[in-house]
Chains A and B, each alone.
Chain A
Amino acid sequence: MANILAVDDSASMRQMVAFTLKGAGHQVTEAADGQAALDVAKGQKFDLVLTDVNMPRMDGITLARELRSLPNFKFTPILMLTTEAGLNKKQEGKAAGATGWIVKPFNPEQLLATIKKVTG
């Protein structure tokens, strides 16, 4: 059971992710964009961050970069939820400090399997 920060500007995706994770016994904090996530992240520690890439105010790549500069997020796994099948965004995300990615569309089972990889 992990404490997870889920960031997505789409309410339905957030709902789906949160529902899935909570169903698997994780604790979930939701944020609607990168800025909101960063505000939350400054105050507490998470075991994992799941973030969308395209978001208003602050995108997922900037969020990853910002999080990595916080002392309590130095080694926290950050996974990007991305629809880009291409390498560009993945590499951009990696360069910003993201741990890995989950390619959309994914189903709840895929999400949990991937999360298991980083939360153990």
Chain B
Amino acid sequence: MSIDMEQFKVTFVEESLEGLDIMESVLLDMHPGAADAEAIDNIFRAAHSIKGGAATFGLGDIANFTHVVETLLDEVRNGDRDITQEAIVLFLSSVDCIREMLSADQNDEAIDQERIGEVKAGLDSMLGSDQDNETVLPESNAATSTDTQENGWEIIFKPFPGMLRTGNDVVRMFRELADLGDFTAVVDAESLPPLVDLDPEEACLSWHITLNGEIDKAQISEIFEWVEDDCELVITPLSASNTNVVNNNAIDNPVTDNPVEEATSVDLQAASTPSERRAEGERRQTARKTSSPESSSIRVGIDKIDDLINMVGELVITQSMLSQLGEDFDMGRVERLNDGLAELERNTRELQESVMRIRMLPISFAFNRFPRMVHDLSAKLDKKIELTMSGEQTELDKTVMEKIGDPLVHLVRNSIDHGIETPEARKAAGKSETGVVNLNAYHQGGNIIIEISDDGAGLNYEKILAKAIERGLVGANEELPEEKVYELLFEPGFSTADVVSDVSGRGVGMDVVKRNIMALGGGVDVKSVPGEGSTFTIRLPLTLAILDGQLVRVGNNTYIIPLVSIVESLLVDQKNVNEIAGKAEVYQLRADYLPIIRLYEVFGIEPDQRSLDDGLLVVVEGDGKKGGLLVDELLGQQQVVIKSLETNFRRVEGLSGATILGDGTVALIVDVAGVVRLSREDGRCPSEQVAAA
């Protein structure tokens, strides 16, 4: 039987990454000299499992590397080695190295040999260079001796009384011996006690065995391997002359090995022929090429699966109820049919929600890299920083989670680098020397809110404004409210750092952060109080796959407007319509002036009516900006599954995707922020883009 080990590797990598996370967080909490036994045990076990798995699943480099870490940790565990700051740092780098090696293997990337070599050298030197050769794992556990005897062997086997209690069975061993050659055993019942004293759990017989045939001694030793310490065992070669006679001397003089040329390997792997193995190797290679195991698995709590099974159960019941109804239907039963359909709708919705929940992961997956980062950065910048986190269990779609990681890193770096002051500066300002960076996440409506706040110096209004004027983003004498000024931070190429540090401050980034967040259908804003700190707030949709939509009709086309962005809908009252500069139309809604966006113009289609009079205006808000979308008719509301335009067609401004409606037609989903932006820019019409494509 050949088993492709590749299939277990995904699980191995997953659990190893978890193990590494544990190691990292334990190490971060560890103080030199004062390691508690449980903490050390935890990281030792993690390293131990990684080493064992790596060796099993053919990741020799990782196994060798981790072996050194494990050995060091074992020494710490046994009290033979103190945990020093140096050791903690080295272990942390090792965690990084192992992580890198795992991901390199998963993605077929090259690894940074130099860095890994450096860390390995550090580990080796800590272990003591004289033990270098021990860091190589044995290739195979079978220590093969090649002692073959033509005539066979004579074995004297006297189990100690307790041998049976280890579960070793003499009959079984004899059967194995008999498989090797011509087997004869003479039982010696001399030490058998009288029946009344007989303890059936004790071994009290001994045997004198002759095994004829061309047999390797190692094969015999292997059979007795587990009982070596539980018995008296003498294995002597059979010479042609001494056949069935017990040689008493042999008991006292264990046999010395006679090397014989003919090697009978006990390496079980050798059982498969070379060509078979090559074929297997090729299969593995193709498997690696075709499947990228990276994001192919997700860990799901059993309760979510149970929910799902429950829902499916209900769905099946509803279905059978409906089909029963259908078999024997008359108009008198319409009411029951409606009930059934309502039930079906409820089942479907719940099932859908449950399925979506499977993709949801707690945001701690994105947060857990920060303790390490804050630890490293504060050391680098000579700042004292405490990281606090709350709402780590808040759940978020896996895809959103993957994409929000980098922007978060950027914002946290920013807080550490620009926000938190040096301990001296903080002291001078009457604050505690240790700054606090706080990460918080919570749900609000259909959104998840992530806040990154610090108790640092806050944003410098004057400095940002001066910079903006210098860059020509703001007129020299322009008065701007605070929030507008802070928003300038997200402009491309904007940095107020006096000195560009390698932590952050090149001015690339904040605009990218904002763009990334907007691409996820979210937004980011900032609040700041001088001297007290800043808070960046990220708002993200919970999932990218489904949205609650308002169906609207423009001419013959159906569009979907995300429900979250709709403020209200109203009939246009002509007296509230104003024209600005003879071109742009605005609608006065209470204190607000909304640009009127004629969807038929944006998308280049034929509407029912072009006049604003008694037209339907859907007031929407995207990216903090409002607008009124002119449509012909409001249809129903429903949840729609978003199909990406980018994967199926290409990105079109003003549209965030498409979906398939119940009647099979395709409806396009309006990107509200994009359309509002388009109307302000008065730029190219997206319909031209579509036509051009």
Binds A, one of B9-17, B417-425, B456-464: B9-17
How distant is the Cα of A107 from the Cα of B57 in the complex, in angstroms? 8
Contact with A along B41-83 (1 / 0, CB 8 A): 0101100110111011100000100000000000000000000
Beyond A54-B45, A75-B164, A94-B230, whether A85 also contacts B56 by CB under 8 A is: no
A10 on the interface (CB 8 Å rule)?
A: yes
B1 on the interface (CB 8 Å rule)?
A: yes
A24 / chain B contacts, CB cutoff of 8 Å: 1
Secondary structure at the B interface, as helix, strand, loop or mixed, is helix
Contact of B52 (CB < 8 Å), options: A74, A91, A94, A105? A105
B55 / chain A contacts, CB cutoff of 8 Å: 83, 104-105
Beyond A103-B141, A107-B269, A117-B172, whether A12 also contacts B57 by CB under 8 A is: yes
B247 on the interface (CB 8 Å rule)?
A: no
Q: Is the CB of A16 within 8 A of B56?
A: yes
Contact of B268 (CB < 8 Å), options: A9, A15, A109? A109
B649 / chain A contacts, CB cutoff of 8 Å: none
A37 on the interface (CB 8 Å rule)?
A: no
Name the CB-closest residue of A to B1. A23
Q: Is the CB of B141 within 8 A of A120?
A: no
A97 on the interface (CB 8 Å rule)?
A: yes
B454 to chain A, nearest CB (A): 37
Name the CB-closest residue of B to A78. B167
B268 / chain A contacts, CB cutoff of 8 Å: 107, 109-110, 113
Contact of A10 (CB < 8 Å), options: B7, B42, B52, B223? B52
Contacting B at CB under 8 A, from A83-120, are 83, 85, 91, 94, 97-101, 103-110, 112-113, 117-118, 120
Contact of A83 (CB < 8 Å), options: B42, B44, B51, B164? B51
Q: Is the CB of A104 within 8 A of B138?
A: no
Contacting A at CB under 8 A, from B1-24, are 1-3, 5, 7-9, 11-12, 14-15
How distant is the Cα of A74 from the Cα of B168 in the complex, in angstroms? 11
How distant is the Cα of A16 from the Cα of B167 in the complex, in angstroms? 25
How distant is the Cα of A10 from the Cα of B13 in the complex, in angstroms? 11
- Residue among B8, B44, B141, B226 with max Cβ neighbours from chain A (10 Å): B226
Contact of B172 (CB < 8 Å), options: A74, A105, A120? A120
Name the CB-closest residue of B to A49. B167
B15 / chain A contacts, CB cutoff of 8 Å: 10-12
A20 on the interface (CB 8 Å rule)?
A: yes
B141 / chain A contacts, CB cutoff of 8 Å: 85, 103, 106
A38 to chain B, nearest CB (A): 16
Count of A interface residues, CB-CB < 8 Å: 42
A55 to chain B, nearest CB (A): 8
B380 on the interface (CB 8 Å rule)?
A: no
A-B contacts counted at CB < 8 A amount to: 118
Contacting A at CB under 8 A, from B332-370, are none
Q: Is the CB of B3 within 8 A of A23?
A: yes
Name the CB-closest residue of A to B11. A12
B165 on the interface (CB 8 Å rule)?
A: yes
B166 on the interface (CB 8 Å rule)?
A: yes
Count of B interface residues, CB-CB < 8 Å: 45
How distant is the Cα of A94 from the Cα of B7 in the complex, in angstroms? 33
B271 on the interface (CB 8 Å rule)?
A: yes
Contact of B138 (CB < 8 Å), options: A85, A91, A118? A85
B386 on the interface (CB 8 Å rule)?
A: no
Q: Is the CB of A104 within 8 A of B56?
A: yes
A78 / chain B contacts, CB cutoff of 8 Å: 166-167
Contact of B48 (CB < 8 Å), options: A83, A97, A100? A83
Q: Is the CB of B56 within 8 A of A13?
A: yes
Name the CB-closest residue of B to A109. B268
B575 on the interface (CB 8 Å rule)?
A: no
B114 / chain A contacts, CB cutoff of 8 Å: none
Beyond A12-B12, A12-B15, whether A110 also contacts B269 by CB under 8 A is: yes
Q: Is the CB of B8 within 8 A of A100?
A: no
B201 on the interface (CB 8 Å rule)?
A: yes
Contacting B at CB under 8 A, from A28-55, are 54-55
A49 to chain B, nearest CB (A): 9
B44 to chain A, nearest CB (A): 8
Beyond A15-B8, A68-B165, A103-B141, whether A120 also contacts B45 by CB under 8 A is: no
A99 / chain B contacts, CB cutoff of 8 Å: 166-168, 226
Beyond A12-B15, A19-B8, A83-B48, whether A108 also contacts B57 by CB under 8 A is: no
Q: Is the CB of A94 within 8 A of B166?
A: yes
A75 / chain B contacts, CB cutoff of 8 Å: 164-165, 167, 169
Beyond A15-B8, A83-B48, A109-B1, whether A98 also contacts B56 by CB under 8 A is: no
Q: Is the CB of B11 within 8 A of A15?
A: yes
- Residue among B2, B52, B168, B229 with max Cβ neighbours from chain A (10 Å): B52
A4 to chain B, nearest CB (A): 13
B8 / chain A contacts, CB cutoff of 8 Å: 12, 15-16, 19
A77 on the interface (CB 8 Å rule)?
A: yes
B52 / chain A contacts, CB cutoff of 8 Å: 10, 13, 83, 104-105
B289 on the interface (CB 8 Å rule)?
A: no
Beyond A23-B3, A85-B138, A117-B176, whether A10 also contacts B53 by CB under 8 A is: yes
Name the CB-closest residue of B to A80. B226
A106 / chain B contacts, CB cutoff of 8 Å: 56, 141
A104 to chain B, nearest CB (A): 5
A68 / chain B contacts, CB cutoff of 8 Å: 165
B45 / chain A contacts, CB cutoff of 8 Å: 9, 54-56
**16 more CB-based (< 8 A) A-B contacts, given A83-B52, A105-B55, A110-B269:** A10-B12, A10-B49, A10-B53, A11-B15, A12-B12, A16-B8, A16-B57, A20-B3, A76-B167, A91-B229, A99-B166, A104-B52, A104-B56, A105-B63, A112-B1, A117-B223
Residues of B within 8 A of A (CB): 1-3, 5, 7-9, 11-12, 14-15, 42, 44-45, 48-49, 51-53, 55-57, 63, 137-138, 141, 164-169, 172, 175-176, 201, 223, 225-226, 229-230, 268-269, 271-272
- Per CB-CB distance, the 4 closest pairs between chain A and chain B, nearest first, are A100-B226, A12-B12, A105-B55, A99-B167
Pairs across A and B, CB under 8 Å, 25 listed: A10-B49, A11-B15, A12-B9, A12-B14, A12-B53, A12-B57, A15-B11, A23-B3, A56-B45, A74-B201, A77-B167, A78-B166, A94-B230, A97-B165, A97-B167, A99-B167, A100-B168, A101-B226, A107-B56, A107-B268, A108-B1, A109-B269, A109-B271, A113-B268, A120-B172
